[in-house]
Amino acid sequence: MRHARVFSFLVLFVGATMLFDSRPLGADEGMWLFNNPPTRLLKSKYGFEPTAAWMDHLRLASVRFNSGGSGSFVSSDGLVMTNHHVGADALQKLSTKERNLLKTGFHAKTREEELRCVDLELNVLVSIEDVTARINAAVQPGMDPAQAHQARRAAMNTIEKESFDKTGLRSDVVTLYHGGLYHLYRFKKYTDVRLVFAPEQEIAFFGGDPDNFEYPRFDLDICFFRVYENGKPARPEHFLKWSKAGPADGELVFVSGHPGRTSRLNTVAHLEFLRDKSFPYLMRKLYRREVILTSYSERSQENARRAQDELFGIENSRKARLGGLAGLQDPAILDAKRAAEAELRKAVAGRPELAAAVGDPWADVLGIIKVWEGILYDYDLLERGAAFNSDKFHIARILVRLADETAKPNAQRLREFAESNLDSLKRDLFSEAPIYDDLETVKLADSLGMFLEMAGPGHPLVQKVLAGRPPRERAAELVLGSKLADVAFRKKLADGGVAAIAASDDPMIQLARLVDPAARELRRTYEEKVEEPLRQAYARIADARFKLHGTDVYPDATFTLRLAFGTVRGYTEMGKSVPPWTDFAGLYERAAEHENRPPFRLPPRWIERKDRLDLRTPFNFVSTADIIGGNSGSPVVNRRGELVGIIFDGNIQSLVLDFQYTDELARAVSVHSSAIVEALRKVYDAQGLADELGR
């Protein structure tokens, strides 16, 4: 799983824990803020009280990947561990036709052999500050949503810039509880990140799409990077000690990572919108992209290599979202949500003062959703760029807007162009990651075709974009005619500002300019008529919850650092007992079952070295921790803060966690710490790396 994933489930058993909206939390639920940990819950259920130092250590050893995912420091020399599928974006960008790192894996035997990544940025959360009052104070009573949005944006941009100027740290104002709270997160940023070790994708993603989101599982889904500062390995103060034994059955474990997005606090009307409009549209897009990219990939090994990471991401999203949609399509789930919502509303109504303050945010959400529905497709096609699925277009869009936005005062800029975000934005913009014109053309032709089909051939913008040509011809013309693959060319355009953009005859720049007025208008409608009013309505619901249930609630996931906890525990599925862990012996059995054919083929090294391995070594294990896409690569630690595993997936039943927590069958899936060391030593002869872990 990765950042963009949404989880849900296929088979659901609705239990008492469902009505968490208005009841005390049960089981191992929650994606908790590090400045509001579930102290009472942990103490009462597990007799464990994490100290402030324990929390700080875990937070400061945790790492966020800008490519989407989590990780942790695992040595005093800046070694970072994450999932192979989180590192895959970096591996893909370091690969060429001659050097396919996803296929062969990689092992730097010396520091000198470590490969500097093209555009990877890692962040460590060093402080959290509540700025809710200041943000809300910027929104004056009587402001309409458009004014409120602009005021709020100005406050956020300003706070971030002040913080950046003061500390030199990356500073992000994050929205929590859909607008109930605003926190300022400051990050230490690492941009010199080097690849140390990655296994072959065949073992990292053994079982491929068929086994993705399934359990039992047999994946060595890990890779190692090292962060450098001033040309030398960084020496992080906090890193996780390695647990040689790993976790025991039933042991309490913690997960520190960045769950991407959940929709647990959504109103029923909002969930229905996801079910009836948003998810079906997304699936439609994913299905066609998967077919188009698969078809492209099958034409040659080199094509397959070029599209590999992107295709994995699409397949992965498709499976996750399909599970999510299946969850939403289960009347039992929605009925339970409906009951919980009714209960909350009743509780609010029972306290007249609260009721007066809260008003009817549920009705407001419903009204806002109607506006959203009206722009759903156009917003995605034009503003989010689904109509122009091409790296070159993405670059062109950023260049065009960079010129326009940086000409404005910081407070008035679109969020991603605010002063404190520019560094990271330019890192992406000037990335040397390869761009393949043939792949670009295939993707752009398909997405232009989708635009044409959805907006219709009579749409004025469709006609201007296609310029009288069929989508495939037009896509080839745009891609082949654009020089934006050249980073120096991009830099020149960026330096030239508005004048250079206006004068450019690059067809992709011209396309980005052509669609920008309509795209910006949609963005404005979305921000002012959807995002802002939704934020206000949800803030009122959050407020009601705080007042009724206290602050022992956690916000929906937002790709910010969270603490989850749970126990290592198997489950019973269709009367069959699923043990909490698999082992290497099981890996070889599964490969044999499939006659060692892809995606169940073992890399040659694993076949040759089978005899050296202790086949009883635990390989993957499950726990009840509350995780979701974005948690990929999260360290799993025990009470002593030792690393016992690394999250890489959830089982198919865990796909429900997008909408509600359950521990009946849903499980987080991790690679066991013992398996990692055993594989490094016996299969990869990586003694130095194994020795370094936890030191």
CB of 335 to a copy of itself, least distance (A): 9
Residue in the block written with tokens 């997005």: 261
Can you tell me the distance from the alpha carbon of 154 to that of 148, in angstroms, rounded to the nearest whole number? Answer: 10
Using CB atoms within 10 Å of the CB of residue 161, give its burial: 0 to 12 exposed, 13 to 18 middle, 19+ buried.
middle
CB of 303 to a copy of itself, least distance (A): 9
In DSSP terms, which residues pair with 80 in a beta bridge? 73, 225
CB closer to a copy of itself, 316 vs 638: 316
CB of 221 to a copy of itself, least distance (A): 18
CB closer to a copy of itself, 590 vs 682: 590
CB-side neighbour CA atoms (13 Å) of 590: 22
Helix (H, G, I), strand (E, B) or coil at 622: strand
Q: Which residues bind a copy of itself (CB under 8 A)?
A: 10-12, 208-210, 272, 275-276, 280, 283-284, 287-288, 290-291, 294-295, 298-301, 318-319, 325-326, 329-332, 449, 452-453, 456-457, 466, 468-473, 594-595, 597, 599
Q: DSSP characters for 138-157?
A: HS-TT--HHHHHHHHHHHHH
CB of 87 to a copy of itself, least distance (A): 24
Identity of residue 558: T
CB closer to a copy of itself, 442 vs 644: 442
H helix or E strand, kind and range, residue 424? helix 422-429
CB closer to a copy of itself, 183 vs 474: 474
Are the CB atoms for 226 and 196 separated by under 8 Å?
A: yes
Listed in sequence order, the residues at least 6 apart from 243 whose beta carbon sits closer than 8 Å to its beta carbon are 638, 640, 642, 643, 644, 673
Q: At residue 21, what are phi and psi to the nearest 5 degrees?
A: -55, -40
CB closer to a copy of itself, 444 vs 466: 466
CB of 271 to a copy of itself, least distance (A): 12
CB closer to a copy of itself, 167 vs 295: 295
In DSSP terms, which residues pair with 64 in a beta bridge? 70, 123
Can you tell me the distance from the alpha carbon of 621 to that of 582, in angstroms, rounded to the nearest whole number? Answer: 6
Sign of CA dihedral 273, 668, 630, 182: positive
Can you tell me the distance from the alpha carbon of 128 to that of 562, in angstroms, rounded to the nearest whole number? Answer: 12
Using CB atoms within 10 Å of the CB of residue 219, give its burial: 0 to 12 exposed, 13 to 18 middle, 19+ buried.
buried
CB-side neighbour CA atoms (13 Å) of 621: 27
CB closer to a copy of itself, 471 vs 603: 471
Can you tell me the distance from the alpha carbon of 248 to that of 231, in angstroms, rounded to the nearest whole number? Answer: 40
CB closer to a copy of itself, 278 vs 623: 278
Could you tell me where the beta strands, DSSP code E, fall in 507-628?
Answer: 562-567, 571-573, 576-578, 581-583, 618-623
CB of 598 to a copy of itself, least distance (A): 9
CB of 462 to a copy of itself, least distance (A): 10
CB closer to a copy of itself, 99 vs 408: 99
CB of 291 to a copy of itself, least distance (A): 5
Tokens linked to 382: 């034009």
CB closer to a copy of itself, 453 vs 608: 453
Can you tell me the distance from the alpha carbon of 170 to that of 423, in angstroms, rounded to the nearest whole number? Answer: 9
Helix (H, G, I), strand (E, B) or coil at 223: strand
CB closer to a copy of itself, 302 vs 552: 302
| Longest CA–CA separation in the chain, Å | 74
CB of 329 to a copy of itself, least distance (A): 5
CB of 590 to a copy of itself, least distance (A): 11
Q: Residue 509's closest CA among 474, 483, 477?
A: 483
Are the CB atoms for 617 and 583 separated by under 8 Å?
A: yes
**What distance lies between CA 103 and its chain's CA centroid?**
24
CB of 52 to a copy of itself, least distance (A): 45
CB of 448 to a copy of itself, least distance (A): 9
Tokens linked to 421: 């975000």
CB closer to a copy of itself, 231 vs 575: 575
Sign of CA dihedral 475, 481, 483, 485: positive
Are the CB atoms for 648 and 671 separated by under 8 Å?
A: yes
CB closer to a copy of itself, 124 vs 652: 652
Q: Residue 360's closest CA among 201, 544, 499?
A: 544
CB of 525 to a copy of itself, least distance (A): 25
Identity of residue 138: A
Can you tell me the distance from the alpha carbon of 55 to that of 658, in angstroms, rounded to the nearest whole number? Answer: 25
CB closer to a copy of itself, 13 vs 46: 13
CB of 14 to a copy of itself, least distance (A): 12
CB of 332 to a copy of itself, least distance (A): 8
In DSSP terms, which residues pair with 209 in a beta bridge? none
CB closer to a copy of itself, 472 vs 605: 472
Residue in the block written with tokens 């005390």: 24
